[in-house]
Structure 1
Amino acid sequence: MKVVNKLLEKLPDAVAGKVPDVKLQDEDIKVSLAQGTLTEEKLLPPKLAMHGITLSFEATGEATVRNFNSPGDVDENGIVGEPPAEGAESGPRPQLLLSSDVGWMRYQVAARVKAAVGTRLSFLASEQQTELSVTLSDYRAHPLGQNMREAARADLAELRLMQATDLAKLAPGDAVAWQARGALQSRLELNWADVFPANLSRLGFLRGSELLSLKVSAKASLSARVSLTDDYQLSFSRARPGRIQVAVRKVKSHEQTLSAGLGITVELLEPAAVKAQAGQLLEALLGPVLRELGKKGTTALEMMDGLVEKASKLKLDDHQKQVLGLVLERLGLDAQLADPANLPQAWADFKARVTEALENAVRSHIAEGFQYEYLRLAETSTLLDVVVEDVTAMRFHESLLKGNLVELLKWMKSLPAQQGEFELRDYLHATTLTRQQAYGFSLGLGSFELLKARNVHKQAWVVQENFQGARRMAFLGRRGYEDKLLGARGQWVVDLKADMARFAPTPVAADFGYGLHLMLWGRQKKLSRKDLHQAVDDAVVWGVLDAKDAASVLTVMQEDVGKHPIETRLELKMADDSFRALVPRIQTLDLPRFSRALARALPWSEQLPRASAEFRRAVYAPIWEAYLREVQEQGSLMLNDLSPARAAQIARWYFQKDPTVRDLGKDLQLIESEYRPGGGNFSFAEVISKNPHTLRRCRDFVSGMVRLRRAIDERKAPDELRTVFGELEGMWTTGFHLRAAGSLLADLAQSTPLGLAGVERTLTVRVADSEEQLVFSTTRGTGSTGAA
């Protein structure tokens, strides 16, 4: 390329004829011309080699010259613009801000990128591609009073084409940008404690419905490389002398193959970390039997390795043989494998399968979570925004140009936060590299973190449209609340997921993947014995624990009761397949089924009739059904509640006349005999008073499921999902009704092909200041009865 260190003698006629001979502030221009005009004048080279690739500026391509000279001007690249209005929701912030004294000239050209012979471009969108189309833009800041033709002469004398050396030439207010469709690679720093809870259903490996108690380090981290295919823009701008702002953002898609999707892949970067966590998983799978046999300080895994070695040498005594048999049975290994000739290899194979399953589950969780977050980032959203020194920008120029953010992020992660060699302004809508507190479908990447406010109610669409006019849509339907009636379990969140992985010319409800996530969260409370029982009872109500496992969990947690702040988190999550299997099972108002769920959801108490979910079902389900039928028979369009006094009368009749209720509920007969205003939230009448409109909520919930099924089956427009969410959310606008909704869903899930094993269900417990957290789940879940 010809380098000119002085002004052009004159502009080419094709350019000069279109750039007005006036001040920059006087006129808006958008000039289009053939790139051949610039190559003929040697202002643009036919080819440019850098970093092992060649840029070809074909003469038939189109070049543009555009100016920005006043507030209100819109740069489709998003580089120049106005700052977000004060108080407005956060959104992409332009690198160059319009003002009253500075304007910009933008020179934009197109190129095709090819690799040297035998070299594959790792950032191609697909393996079939051999070249890449890119758009390059050069932004030059000028005083508004400068003549536009004179500005163009100065700028075109040395057009900047995204070479590393061009970065040093950026004057204050200047920028260069590179826009392409290709494979973008990023690095995620996650917390293992956030990754594990969502995956226990995929890591069962147990013969029957067994309790899995998993210990996870709250400080252990996980690094992953995530790759996806999309259109993105890389820009370098002069933030201030000696510093360059690097920004990567989403841009309008050029996707032409509608079935392609994002093509997300995940690579785990620290095998040693995976191996360590696989050891913790094996500890959980082996269960408590080995720990009783071992010495203090010996892990279950060490005990099992020792038993296998002794068995291979025929050195097991009778008790050790019995223990080994119990463990093999728990793991579902063939009893014949206890043969010394087979056992060592079988045990080694089992450990390898556990490690592989863990890796697959974690990769799958990260890919699903990243897609959930990414689809909810609006078009032009910022993926990375960081200010670095010139030398750093030039150092990572090549990898960034090729869509690789990993190397820069790795370098940033390696530096002490106080070193000040970079200023991270935004990384996937956060200002930290490590993600914390990822819940449900989320990885904690975007601006949708949960439980930041006491009352969250959000419905929103994120719509991306490609250049062919096809759309890819994602729906965010979230409801959260801080409910004082729940005590130590004081906050809850529900997320209805609906999004499209691919573009569609005319999206319909059938094009979406669906999911539902429910969470009860109690944090930083010094749990009393009663609080602890209530938290475990919640887990039984939602099918996270079988009733028979509740006592074991209580025993494990009992030591810290009343001594330390304890955080409990109960989660129930259904992915697309399990949620779609569930929807057809809620198409009519089955009052007995809803009544059982409402009865199980009543507050826990040490008194026998309320001490377990199944006792509550036996005592209160007929009362709930009678109450709901009487409300129904009133015939009111609003389905108004009965008075609390009437609710107490219904309860009193059953406690006195129904044999089952009378016998099981005799300890509560006096309490349930009449309504006492201000008594709390315990008796049936009090629950009715504090949690109104139950029949209406149940009817609306069924209506929402019917509407969703019809929308999918009849391929209706996606706008129907707003109404669906509005009808469903009545079952989670109070903590009590949320408990009932979780109970109902867990009950219905048992009738689906995978049963409760198809639903991700966890109870997570962390003691404040502890470096570990415990995750509990009954692996398959049978809905077995018993005292909680």
Structure 2
Amino acid sequence: MKVVNKLLAKLPDEVARQIPDVKLVDQDIKVPLAQGTFTQENILPPKLNLTDFTLSFEAGGEASIRNFNSPGDVDENRVVGEASEEEPEPGAPRPQLLLGGETGWMRYQVTARVKSAAGVNLSFLAGGTEGELSVTLSDYRAHPLTRNMREAAKMDLADLRIMQATDIAKLNPGDAMTWQARGNLQTRLELNWADLFTANLNRLAFVRGNELLALKADVEAGVSAKVGLTDDFQLTFSRLLAGRIQIAVRKAKSRDATLGAGLGVTVEFVDASAVKAQLGRVLEALLGPALREVAEKVGSPKDATALQVMDALVDKASKLKLNDVQKQALRLALERIGLDPALAEVSNIKAAWDDFKKKVETKVDEAAKTQIAAGFQYEYLRLNEASTLLEVVVDDATAMRFHGSLIKGNLTDLLKWMKELPENQKSAELLNYLNSTTLTRQQAYGFSLGLGSFEVLKSGGTRKESWVTQVNGEGARRQAFLGRRGYEDKLLGNRGQWVVDLKADMERFSPAPVASDFRYGLHLMLWGRQKKMTRKELQAAVDDAVVWGVLDAADAAAVMSTLQSDTGKEPIETRLELKMADDTFRAMVPKVQAFDLAMFSRALARAMPWSEQTPRASAEFRRSVYAPIWEAYLREVQEKGSMMTHDLPPSRAAQIAEYFLKRDPLGKELLLIESEWRPDSGAFSFAQVIEKNPGTLAKCQAFVAGMVRLRRAIDERKAPDELRTVFGELEGMWNTGFHLRAAGSLLSELAKATPMGLASVERTFSVTMTDRGEQLVFSTAKGTGA
């Protein structure tokens, strides 16, 4: 710093002349400094060679001095500000330095070019040309309000802090310094393999399209990932108390003038062998239960896993020692995973099997990283500008230790240190990490990684609709829309919690965003809270999965067979998810451009409550029995005219049901229940479903209107504000548990008509046995092609 001080020796007197000779409390100032003149006259040196980088003070750069002396003053860096009277939103920027007391601040701010020193890798500057980029440095000095500003400036500038590690020790209570730049920020996420596996398993599969996959995962199995992305960030060191430094990393207003630039999210596992540890579970799911069932017949131990049986068969086949029973078992296994069954007869099968395992390992790695990247980007785009990414209080030694990595955009080293030892966790006070107060994610679902950004559910209903806009230096915008509806519906019993998320966000900046610039998606989740479930309760949850096209009738029987020994013994949590990415959702929108009465009636019929009675025991039986009833009912409501605001009376709904059931051999079993409306006796009969879930026709028509509006908005490049109306029109189809079941059924039918069919929709049914810490994820790859 002696060299730096010498080079800046003329600065205090030259700058002080431009500062009013008054007390800090007397006047608000914002003094622009002619940086070009200062460099020409060697008041600011052309370059400052620091430890890891060089600062270049360009003639066209910006420099300024301003003060903050009373509540109401606005600091664009959000370091100085007023304390909020209300509890701030999660992640909302909180000022480190609070106005309103006997203290004020002088802020010295300069813009410079930063170039890394020889042999130093500044990842923070990765977005710059040849490792060089513009940064803004700010030094905040606390002074009594009675201090003369000219004298304060002379004193402060005599030892200007320029974000060196040694400058941290020079921060007095109430002081701060910031560094703002665009570059590559690296952070660390602590995730759970079980959550990563709730994504569509057919991304990992090479099985025939009609095969059920059942993946077993350990809910305690964690995985650490390094995530990097390119954006604008502000790093702040501030001292609130002696011996303690608060470190804050925030999003900042983008300086990027390139409209085509995206976040460029990258993912790397901390442990390179993380995927190998999960490979056995994935291969077990791909091979299926059939091999385990024939273990003894082919000479393997009775309790052998499918993978152990397969390895043994392949080993014998490579030595041409298979008998006919073993050959048949191997052929079926090879056919299931998409390999040539004829390999069971040849000696080179081992090489083919080894290649297959490597292929699966690569696919698991890709699928997990893709999900982490997509989930992180989803949540990051929904953090408001200036939102806090990391806020932690440490001692001086720790702040100085990690200064070098933080200035390079590396949060990973500090986060790793905080998690390594209990004493580290005690010495560091974590205030905020990605809208949470823990380093570990909460619970991943849908498009999210569960980083604490949003509440999934709470008692009653939740509805969140908001825009997040980031503006770059050219005034272009990058926007993200959040449209989420969550609810707890007691009519669905323990399966009554659900959430739906309509996703729309932009990867790149646009001077005038329009609806076609966005990537869309839709996620539906039906969550069964933990409880000891009876067989009937589990069957109802499995039926939900059939209604949504996650399982078919044969799959449902296999799932029930797998889980029946667990009923009534320990708490079970079920989770059903449908997720459509941009290409699938866009392909689906044109399929709903007019009200198709028959199609909606089929979906509503499949969604009728399950029971053991034959007409209700399967989704297809319900479709056969109730689709004509729903179609007649909706048509009669429709014929009443558009001014009608209420459904038909439940007694009339019972009459319609009775008429059709008398003529349906399958439905006659339900006549006693359906032929008369019995108020306050549940929500089982057609009339009761009508009464408990009102406005069905209006909701169906509004859903169509929303899809029509969305298509027009995209095709005609309308303003994105249309998305608010779209969300409002669509959400009627999922504001009761019954309508949510119908929405899932409708969407799965629509997906079948798209080029990729159901295979393009992520569909999983997860069952977690909480006492054992074990999760089973069921999915299929069926539905390829329309």
TM class by shorter chain equals: over 0.9
The residue number in structure 1 matching 2:629 is: 623
Contact 1:43 1:157 in 2 (8 A): no
The correspondence of residues 769-788 of structure 1 with structure 2, limited to 5 A, is 769-781=771-783
Matching of residue 271 in structure 1 with residue 272 in structure 2? yes
The residue number in structure 2 matching 1:632 is: 638
TM-score, L = length of structure 1:
0.96
The residue number in structure 1 matching 2:163 is: 162
Question: 1:127, CA displacement in angstroms?
Answer: 7.3
Q: Deviations over 1:163-204 (max 9, x none)?
A: 110001100011111110111111111111111111313112
Following the alignment from structure 2 to structure 1, what is the Cα–Cα distance between the partners of residues 392 and 120?
31
> Residue type of the partner of 2:108?
Y
Following the alignment from structure 2 to structure 1, what is the Cα–Cα distance between the partners of residues 718 and 126?
32
Question: 1:572, CA displacement in angstroms?
Answer: 0.4
Following the alignment from structure 2 to structure 1, what is the Cα–Cα distance between the partners of residues 404 and 543?
56
> Residue type of the partner of 1:752?
T
Contact 1:248 1:382 in 2 (8 A): yes
The residue number in structure 2 matching 1:765 is: 767
Following the alignment from structure 1 to structure 2, what is the Cα–Cα distance between the partners of residues 675 and 190?
50
The residue number in structure 1 matching 2:99 is: 98
Q: Deviations over 1:734-764 (max 9, x none)?
A: 0000000000000110111111100000011
Matching of residue 261 in structure 1 with residue 262 in structure 2? yes
Question: 1:44, CA displacement in angstroms?
Answer: 5.0
Question: 1:145, CA displacement in angstroms?
Answer: 1.0
Matching of residue 244 in structure 1 with residue 245 in structure 2? yes
From 560, 563, 567, the counterpart of 1:561: 567
Matching of residue 733 in structure 1 with residue 739 in structure 2? no
Contact 2:332 2:341 in 1 (8 A): no
The residue number in structure 2 matching 1:77 is: 77
Identity of aligned residues (%): 70
Question: 1:569, CA displacement in angstroms?
Answer: 0.5
Contact 1:601 1:743 in 2 (8 A): yes
Question: 1:406, CA displacement in angstroms?
Answer: 1.0
Question: 1:49, CA displacement in angstroms?
Answer: 3.0
From 661, 664, 667, the counterpart of 2:666: 664
Matching of residue 350 in structure 1 with residue 351 in structure 2? no
The residue number in structure 2 matching 1:708 is: 710
Question: 1:120, CA displacement in angstroms?
Answer: 5.4
Question: 1:11, CA displacement in angstroms?
Answer: 7.5
SS in 2 for 1:474: strand
SS in 2 for 1:437: coil
The residue number in structure 1 matching 2:685 is: 683
Following the alignment from structure 1 to structure 2, what is the Cα–Cα distance between the partners of residues 310 and 10?
85
Query: Could you say if the C-alpha distance between residues 153 and 334 of structure 1 is closer, same or farther in structure 2, counting changes exceeding 3 Å?
Result: same
Following the alignment from structure 2 to structure 1, what is the Cα–Cα distance between the partners of residues 73 and 459?
36
Q: Deviations over 1:686-714 (max 9, x none)?
A: 10010011000000000000000000000
Following the alignment from structure 1 to structure 2, what is the Cα–Cα distance between the partners of residues 417 and 317?
61
Following the alignment from structure 1 to structure 2, what is the Cα–Cα distance between the partners of residues 782 and 557?
28
From 689, 700, 722, the counterpart of 1:720: 722
SS in 2 for 1:86: coil
From 529, 537, 549, the counterpart of 1:523: 529
Following the alignment from structure 1 to structure 2, what is the Cα–Cα distance between the partners of residues 542 and 421?
49
Following the alignment from structure 1 to structure 2, what is the Cα–Cα distance between the partners of residues 319 and 523?
45
Following the alignment from structure 1 to structure 2, what is the Cα–Cα distance between the partners of residues 38 and 206?
70
The residue number in structure 1 matching 2:409 is: 403
The residue number in structure 2 matching 1:420 is: 426
From 544, 548, 552, the counterpart of 1:542: 548
Following the alignment from structure 1 to structure 2, what is the Cα–Cα distance between the partners of residues 33 and 337?
78
Contact 1:201 1:759 in 2 (8 A): no
Following the alignment from structure 1 to structure 2, what is the Cα–Cα distance between the partners of residues 309 and 50?
63
The residue number in structure 2 matching 1:133 is: 134
Question: 1:118, CA displacement in angstroms?
Answer: 6.4
The count of corresponding residues between Structure 1 and Structure 2 is 779
Following the alignment from structure 1 to structure 2, what is the Cα–Cα distance between the partners of residues 386 and 423?
6
Contact 1:488 1:523 in 2 (8 A): yes
Following the alignment from structure 1 to structure 2, what is the Cα–Cα distance between the partners of residues 483 and 441?
23
Contact 2:123 2:410 in 1 (8 A): no
Q: Deviations over 1:649-706 (max 9, x none)?
A: 00111111x3xx2x10121111111111112100000100100110000000000000
Matching of residue 24 in structure 1 with residue 24 in structure 2? yes
Contact 1:632 1:639 in 2 (8 A): no
The residue number in structure 2 matching 1:593 is: 599
The residue number in structure 2 matching 1:507 is: 513
Contact 2:661 2:668 in 1 (8 A): yes
Contact 1:566 1:765 in 2 (8 A): yes
Please report the RMSD computed on the Cα atoms of aligned residues, expressed in angstroms: 2.1
> Residue type of the partner of 1:237?
S
Query: Could you say if the C-alpha distance between residues 11 and 215 of structure 1 is closer, same or farther in structure 2, counting changes exceeding 3 Å?
Result: closer
> Residue type of the partner of 1:710?
R
Following the alignment from structure 2 to structure 1, what is the Cα–Cα distance between the partners of residues 215 and 673?
40
> Residue type of the partner of 1:274?
V
The residue number in structure 1 matching 2:48 is: 48
The residue number in structure 2 matching 1:552 is: 558
Question: 1:128, CA displacement in angstroms?
Answer: 4.7
Query: Could you say if the C-alpha distance between residues 278 and 454 of structure 1 is closer, same or farther in structure 2, counting changes exceeding 3 Å?
Result: farther
Following the alignment from structure 1 to structure 2, what is the Cα–Cα distance between the partners of residues 251 and 156?
26
Matching of residue 435 in structure 1 with residue 441 in structure 2? yes
Query: Could you say if the C-alpha distance between residues 161 and 260 of structure 1 is closer, same or farther in structure 2, counting changes exceeding 3 Å?
Result: same
Question: 1:436, CA displacement in angstroms?
Answer: 2.5
Contact 1:54 1:113 in 2 (8 A): yes
Query: Could you say if the C-alpha distance between residues 632 and 59 of structure 1 is closer, same or farther in structure 2, counting changes exceeding 3 Å?
Result: closer
Following the alignment from structure 2 to structure 1, what is the Cα–Cα distance between the partners of residues 456 and 423?
26
Contact 1:3 1:158 in 2 (8 A): no
> Residue type of the partner of 2:447?
F
Contact 1:25 1:144 in 2 (8 A): yes
> Residue type of the partner of 2:758?
L
Q: Deviations over 1:97-143 (max 9, x none)?
A: 11221110000112211134566543334375431111111000011
Q: Deviations over 1:316-356 (max 9, x none)?
A: 22211111111001111012322433201110110011110
Following the alignment from structure 1 to structure 2, what is the Cα–Cα distance between the partners of residues 88 and 188?
24
Q: Deviations over 1:531-582 (max 9, x none)?
A: 1010000000000111211011011111121121111000000000010011
Contact 2:769 2:775 in 1 (8 A): yes
Question: 1:212, CA displacement in angstroms?
Answer: 0.3
Contact 2:236 2:247 in 1 (8 A): yes
Contact 1:53 1:116 in 2 (8 A): yes
The residue number in structure 2 matching 1:174 is: 175
Matching of residue 642 in structure 1 with residue 648 in structure 2? yes
Following the alignment from structure 1 to structure 2, what is the Cα–Cα distance between the partners of residues 217 and 482?
28
Contact 1:704 1:728 in 2 (8 A): yes
Contact 1:546 1:778 in 2 (8 A): no
Give structure 1 stretches of 5+ with no counterpart: none
Following the alignment from structure 1 to structure 2, what is the Cα–Cα distance between the partners of residues 10 and 551?
84
The residue number in structure 2 matching 1:694 is: 696
> Residue type of the partner of 1:64?
S
Contact 1:115 1:121 in 2 (8 A): yes
Following the alignment from structure 2 to structure 1, what is the Cα–Cα distance between the partners of residues 73 and 685?
63
Query: Could you say if the C-alpha distance between residues 127 and 150 of structure 1 is closer, same or farther in structure 2, counting changes exceeding 3 Å?
Result: closer
> Residue type of the partner of 1:196?
F
The residue number in structure 2 matching 1:603 is: 609
Following the alignment from structure 1 to structure 2, what is the Cα–Cα distance between the partners of residues 507 and 125?
27
Give structure 2 stretches of 5+ with no counterpart: none
> Residue type of the partner of 1:508?
V
Following the alignment from structure 1 to structure 2, what is the Cα–Cα distance between the partners of residues 42 and 638?
81
TM-score, L = length of structure 2:
0.96
Query: Could you say if the C-alpha distance between residues 407 and 87 of structure 1 is closer, same or farther in structure 2, counting changes exceeding 3 Å?
Result: closer
Q: Deviations over 1:134-169 (max 9, x none)?
A: 111100001111111111111011000001100011
Following the alignment from structure 1 to structure 2, what is the Cα–Cα distance between the partners of residues 168 and 623?
77
> Residue type of the partner of 2:734?
W
Contact 2:418 2:428 in 1 (8 A): yes
Following the alignment from structure 2 to structure 1, what is the Cα–Cα distance between the partners of residues 644 and 224?
53
Following the alignment from structure 1 to structure 2, what is the Cα–Cα distance between the partners of residues 622 and 591?
10
Contact 1:12 1:41 in 2 (8 A): no
Question: 1:419, CA displacement in angstroms?
Answer: 4.7
The residue number in structure 2 matching 1:314 is: 320
